[in-house]
A and B are shown apart, each in its own frame.
Chain A
Amino acid sequence: MAYEKAWADNPKLNKTEQKKLVKDGLKIFEDIPHYAKNGFASIPKEEWDNFKWAGLYLQRPKEDGYFMMRVNVPSGILSYEQIKTLAHICKDYGRGVFDITTRQAIQFHWLTIEQIPDIFRRLEATGLSSAGACGDITRNIMGNPIAGIDPQELFDTSEIVKEVYEFFQHNEDFSNLPRKYKMSISSNVNNSAHAEINCVAFTPAYKEVDDKEIPGFHIKIGGGLSSRPFLAQPLDVFIEPHQVKEVAIAITTIFRDYGYREKRHFARLKFLMADWGPEKFKEKLLEYTGQLPSKGRDALQGWNGGYFYGVHPQKQEGLSYIGFNVPVGRLDADEVLKLAEIAKLYGNGEIRTVNSQNLIIPNVKHQNVESLLQEDIFKRITTQPLSFIGHSVSCTGIEYCNLALVETKERMRRIAESLDQRITLDVPIRIHMVGCPNSCGQRQIADIGLQGVLLKTKEKKMVQAFEIYVGGTLDDGGKFNEKLKGKFHADFLDEVLIRFLDHFKETKLPLETFFDYINRVGLEPLQIELDRISEQLEEKVS
């Protein structure tokens, strides 16, 4: 232990904190071979939570002993060998289910403890890791999914992300944080790494130094969704690219040493930031880093929602990157193997994952684009998805998650399909569906957020239902969506949305976005319309 745990003597530490003092989360890696040899029954129940540090959760029902594994993909960049490795793990052990997450990571399901050592070996052999993908530790670091090929980026951030990620990997100086800790580092001018919902975000900026404008970063601190969402707030500092690692370590040290550890629900960095405010946080940061220049010129131009569909020229002449839609982020292992071969044949084998649960094939010569697009797999994994399925996000839902109340992923896909068949708009609508208030599907930043609840009606019928939130964005600093009144039976949700969006279509201005529309008309007319729809639908829940 290279540092003193200043909080160790606090008698009010919560139980998880007390446990972490006795045994660091990363120590689970030392125990896994024993458990793998002796089977699931050999794992004491009180050890189950420690598997998170190895990127492993027990999926529901926990007693069945199947694990979900999350694998880190810093910046979303995967080599050909890495993709093949992931696909084979998925095929051999994970029943073929391959999910892209909203933090650019990959998730497998149905793994047993006996399989984990071999999976670790395979991951390690290609430079991949699930360490810290869950738990109170630095999570997968989000980056610009087109880092290094982005014609508009200020500079290539892939190596910076890699350097910071590798510093925190298996680093026991930073494996006992108060809570999960999410970082993004990107110089994409369209905020593709969703800066405002990260604990710490490095965003593109310029600063005039000695009469010369240099590129670098601004930082935002204290964002996060979950059931108490906060938008990250900017600090008045400018960071040069070579300072990112040092500043990231300083901020993480502040979180480790000053973050709250008495109550789990009050432990994320966002709560410390909410208490301290940007001024005090900056002061504390400077104690670690020394003087930093004040803010320069923000280089963010807007927010693309993490969408990169279609064929785009790279900064490298003659090469294109191609953005594909993966419906609700789910592929099967054979599709992934096919995609790897295509990426190798037409590009350099690389595939990039995107936080919109989609993927990008980069480095394709312009003259090869057309032949690539003729491949059969791109009938489903398309560059031009229909609008709704192309902008739908869903959490895992009741299928695998212990906390979800309702089914989400397949339902979101079906609803998006239904909307695409029945309504055409001149702007995309981003719909995010979540199965509980914990926001793994980032409900709060959606144009339309759908949050599941379980209902018992007057007639004593149990039904899955959804509440509707409208007006979220991360444009211009961000705004969370707001709840409208009413709950809607899951089976009739598509009908509600169709009527609701028909009203939007009839009353919007040409090319007006959903967010701009709400700003113009306000929530009240939408509530009136939703109430009207409720009355029309006999099967309305409430």
Chain B
Amino acid sequence: MYLYRFEVSLKSEIIPVVIAATTDEQAFQLVDVELEKYFLKQPDFEEISLYEKKKIRSGNGFVLYERENILNP
């Protein structure tokens, strides 16, 4: 099981999403599910980027501070 760090790029904002899953494919599917759960309707995204995955264990996590994606001004 891995912890995945995503960024979902919308037109004017970036949404960080963290998912626990066993495969990359499953993790991408679960991003859709989580987006739908949160926004009720899936937002119109430009792209969903997987930046990093870590093994799930105590002490592993991500700091969601700096954005990987740089939005155009």
Partner of A541, one of B28, B31, B47, B72: B47
Interface residue B24 (Cβ < 8 Å from any Cβ of A): yes
Does B9 lie within 8 Å of A542, measured CB to CB? yes
Residues of A within 8 Å of B70, CB to CB, are 483, 485
Identity of the chain A residue whose Cβ is nearest the Cβ of B55 in the assembled complex: A402
**Contact partner of B47 among A15, A403, A455, A485, CB < 8 A?**
A455
Nearest CB in chain B: distance from A411 CB, A: 17
Chain A positions 432-488 with a Cβ under 8 Å from a chain B Cβ: 436-437, 453-458, 462, 465, 467, 483, 485, 487
1/0 per residue B44-73: CB within 8 Å of A? 011111111111011111000000101010
The complex places the Cα of A542 from the Cα of B48 at a distance, in Å, of 10
- Give the complex CA separation of A465 and B50 in angstroms: 10
Q: Which of B31, B50, B61 contacts A453 (CB 8 A)?
A: B50
Which residues of chain B are near A453, meaning CB under 8 Å?
49-51, 68
Closest to A454 in B: B50
**Which of B25, B28, B31, B51 is the most central at the interface, judged by chain A CB atoms within 10 Å of its CB?**
B51
Task: Tell me if A15 and B51 are in contact (CB < 8 A).
Answer: no
- A402 vs B72: C-alpha distance when bound (angstroms): 33
Q: Assuming A264-B60, A542-B9, is B49 touching A455 (CB within 8 A)?
A: yes
How many residue pairs, one in A and one in B, have C-beta atoms under 8 Å apart? 60
Residues A456 and B47 in contact, CB atoms below 8 Å apart:
yes
Check B48 against A437 for contact (C-beta < 8 Å): no
A243 within 8 A of B: no
Q: Report the minimal beta-carbon distance from A84 to chain B, rounded to whole angstroms.
A: 37
By secondary structure, the B interface counts as mixed
Find A454's partner among B9, B45, B49, B68 (CB 8 Å cutoff): B49
- Measured between beta carbons, the chain A residues less than 8 angstroms from B25 are 462
Query: A376-426: which residues lie under 8 A (CB-CB) from chain B?
Result: 402-403, 405
Interface majority SS (helix, strand, loop, mixed), chain A = mixed
Partner of A457, one of B47, B53, B57, B59: B47
Count of residues in A whose CB is under 8 Å from the partner chain: 26
Q: How far is the CB of A139 from chain B (nearest CB, A)?
A: 20
Answer whether A458 and B46 are a contact pair too, CB < 8 Å, given A14-B59, A436-B52, A485-B72. yes
Q: How far is the CB of A17 from chain B (nearest CB, A)?
A: 9
Kindly identify which residue among B9, B49, B58 contacts A15, using a CB–CB cutoff of 8 Å.
B58
B42 to chain A, nearest CB (A): 11
Closest to A453 in B: B49
Chain A stretch 263-287: residues in CB contact (< 8 A) with chain B: 263-265
Tell whether, in the assembled complex, residue B51 and residue A264 are in contact, meaning their CB atoms are under 8 Å apart: no
A227 at the interface (CB under 8 A from B): yes
Whether B50 contacts A455 by the Cβ 8 Å rule is yes
Say yes or no: B52 contacts A437, CB within 8 Å.
yes
Are A403 and B45 in contact, with the CB atoms below 8 A? no
What separation, in Å, do the CA atoms of A187 and B61 have in the docked complex? 39
Q: In chain B, residues 10-66, which have Cβ atoms closer than 8 Å to a Cβ of chain A?
A: 24-25, 28, 31, 45-55, 57-61
Decide if B53 touches A436 in the complex (CB within 8 Å).
yes
A467 to B48, CA, bound (A): 14
Cα of A42 to Cα of B24 in the assembled complex, Å:
28
Q: Determine which residue in B25, B49, B57 has the highest number of CB atoms from chain A within 10 A of its CB, and name it.
A: B49
Q: A454-B50, A542-B46 are in contact. List 5 more A-B contacts (CB 8 A).
A: A227-B52, A403-B52, A458-B45, A458-B46, A542-B9
Where the two chains meet, the residues of A that have a C-beta atom closer than 8 Å to any C-beta of B are: 14-16, 227, 263-265, 402-403, 405, 436-437, 453-458, 462, 465, 467, 483, 485, 487, 541-542
Closest 6 CB pairs of A and B: A14-B59, A454-B50, A456-B48, A15-B58, A485-B70, A264-B59
Give 9 CB contacts A-B under 8 Å. Answer: A263-B59, A265-B61, A405-B51, A436-B53, A455-B49, A462-B25, A485-B70, A487-B47, A487-B49
